[in-house]
A and B are shown apart, each in its own frame.
Chain A
């Protein structure tokens, strides 16, 4: 069965410290993995997707098929990174996304 797990509901780090938001998935096939973010009083929006292999706002995420993980990392956290982060998985048959329950990141000044 398809499943996305984000083990941390809440995560606090100090400004300038590294941050890693964990995401593990289960899927019987070749999924596409995404990170979505929701800043305070804004809409849920795409942060990055694994196929792009981009760094967005300093964040990167590597798909590890062996460990079925897609952890989000940033070497130096900024206050503006405080937000709710959702890991999501999509199969290749249309737009059916499976979301994790989210991690609320707080960056302490």
Chain B
């Protein structure tokens, strides 16, 4: 099976712009979650989607949003970018069903730099 695929891998934006990141989970996985990874804070949970519904949300401002499509692919969007949004954004998928919690399969990440 192909692994979790994230696009783009690298991108540079300027303050005030917005960005959309994409994640294709492993085939058959219905849960997709997003994490922000920075050197100071480590991995921080953004949100999780299951069957097109946001199931959990982390403690991030409303500028961070996401969605999941019927084929389980997911996108996350960050509007009005700030310098502090520079990070590696990781997507992870999970084969578990509605009961949740299982083994996360991570993508390679999208490295966002905000200038």
Contact = CB atoms under 8 A, between A and B. Distances in A.
Contacts of B43: 86, 97, 99
Interface string A41-60: 00111100100000000000
Interface residues of B, number: 27
Contacts of A96: 33, 45, 48, 56, 58
A38 to B, nearest CB: 9
Interface of B: 3, 31, 33, 35, 41-45, 48, 50, 55-56, 58, 90, 92, 94, 96, 100-108
A44 B48 contact: no
A94 B48 contact: yes
B42 A94 contact: no
Interface residues of A, number: 21
Nearest to B99: A92
